[in-house]
Structure 1
């Protein structure tokens, strides 16, 4: 099964409480990590693939190699194969470190990498996955899954924010736990919910 997420911002202490534009209600970074790991692993198995659409972590530990080692250990605690699309806060050195330490999980690489984005087909739709929102224009059966804008939503029905703090989770008919990646059925529900929402606005 495929899952989708973005903007986990592991190690980013400045996002805790009300210190930044996308506050997270945790007392410390360890609690935030524990919540994301638990909620991720409760949904994802090692047979699944998670598309992470950027901004994996902001770890200001130095030297940089130590920071990358810490991020690597954390990512190893997450179930599934992880397809990483580079976000504006993802250092190229992190991707190089992960690639150098990549390994096989059930016969496939634990990590895959894309600098800009990737495209898959799912449920008769083309999903264009990128970190930044893409303005697609008039399209049919094409959806842009993205992150980057945290608790904002693009005012276009074809753009779906899949970040951990996206407001578009409100299109779901249940409360998704913080940090849990969106499943294929979640994405369908969000797409349809946003489409209906826009039809009502006409």
Structure 2
């Protein structure tokens, strides 16, 4: 039996060309950006591993639907989506392109899980309080691109965080130094 690992990340913004100058991200083109993320993802994640993506998976979802489906199919692991602000249409519904992807579970706006016996609250947005916070629960979030520091046992897991470096990371990697 193969050991299954869990990984976390947020804010890949696949196909989002403006991210290259807004963040900035160190890539010459959005194609280079996306290929780097695919390679980094697949270097860490095996086919049976679990990946929790904490929102803003891709951009230009209507215009680049086939490209996004192709990228999704190339990414290893059983993928779960915690919905971010760029993952929804103008009415706040999950964008049809993302809804059509083969997620391992229905995409949710927030999710509670366990990893290595630790309680973990996952959301695209940073919370200042979260379920079981006062009983040692952790909180992973994205959205803020490193501009909103965590409190207590919370932290930004966006791909543009220096220790995430565009690669899905394990709970142990992400909580090093939080305790």
TM-score by length of structure 1 reads 0.76
Structural mapping, 1:104-123, within 5 Å: 110-123=103-116
Matches within 5 A, 1:8-87: 8-16=12-20, 19-20=21-22, 22-59=23-60, 64=62, 66-87=63-84
Give 1:155 deviation, angstroms: 4.3
Corresponding residue for 1:129?
122
Superposed CA offset, 1:83-118 (max 9, x none): 01110011257653344453xxxxxxx443333111
Distance in 1 (CA, whole Å) between partners of 2:178 and 2:169 is: 15
Q: Give 1 or 2 for the bigger CA radius of gyration.
A: 1
Going from structure 1 to structure 2, the CA distance change for 1:125 and 1:101 (only over 3 Å counts) comes to closer
Cα distance in structure 2, aligned partners of 1:159 and 1:188 = 9
Q: Does 1:91 find its partner at 2:80?
A: no
Q: Which runs of 4+ in 1 moved over 4 A?
A: 92-95
Pair 45,15 (structure 1): closer, same or farther in 2 beyond 3 Å: same
Would the alpha carbon gap of residues 101 and 158 (structure 1) be closer, same or farther in structure 2, given more than 3 Å must change? Answer: closer
**Contact 1:44–1:79 (CA under 8 A) maintained in structure 2:** yes
* Structure 1 unmatched runs, 5+: 103-109, 170-175, 196-202
CA-atom RMSD in angstroms: 2.1
| Number of matched pairs | 170
1:194 and 2:178 are equivalent in the alignment = yes
- Matched position secondary structure for 2:105: strand
State the distance in 2 between where 1:124 and 1:59 align: 38
- Aligned partners of 2:150 and 2:10: how far apart in 1? 19
Rate the CA distance shift 1:12–1:183 in 2: closer, same or farther, 3 A: same
- The structure richer in helix per residue is 1
Question: Does the CA contact (< 8 Å) of 2:56 and 2:85 recur in 1?
Answer: yes
**Which deviates more from structure 2 when the two are superposed, residues 112-121 or residues 48-57?**
112-121
Matched residues in 2 for 1:99 and 1:54: separation?
13
Quote the Cα distance in structure 2 between the aligned partners of 1:101 and 1:144: 26
Residue 159 of structure 1: aligned partner = 154
